[in-house]
Amino acid sequence: MVGAGEEEWGDVRGIVTRLACTIEALEQEERDLLKSESMRNLLRGWSQARWGEMDLSERREVIGQIFTSIVVMPVPQGVSDKAPFDPALLKVGWRKDQGDSWKRIQYQGGVIAT
């Protein structure tokens, strides 16, 4: 005890400083875990309305959870590169571990729809 003269104030201050650093590190780990779990659970209770509420990082996470790849095929011969966008030129690789139910999700005008 410091009051009884058994510990020096410098020693106690060092212990308190280390404890404060440890607490701060643990709190950061908790925040990181909560964020990663939140990202993992983005598709629970999915609705089209949620897409509009998501920020860019959440949208990227959803896309990464649904697709393995999205390949834009070349514009066919004889079609102007100024022609309107043709979604048929997108070849999608679906994640197999999520089941066929995810294949109902479609990209429609900037929105992922079910």
User: Does the pLDDT at position 53 exceed 80?
Assistant: yes
User: Does the pLDDT at position 47 exceed 90?
Assistant: no
Who wins on pLDDT, 92 or 44? 92
Model confidence pLDDT, tens digit, residues 64-102 = 888 888 899 998 999 988 889 889 999 988 887 554 445
Q: pTM, whole model, 2 decimals?
A: 0.48
Distances (CA, A) of 38 to 4, 33, 96: 49, 8, 22
In the numeric block, which tokens belong to residue 87?
Answer: 């979604």
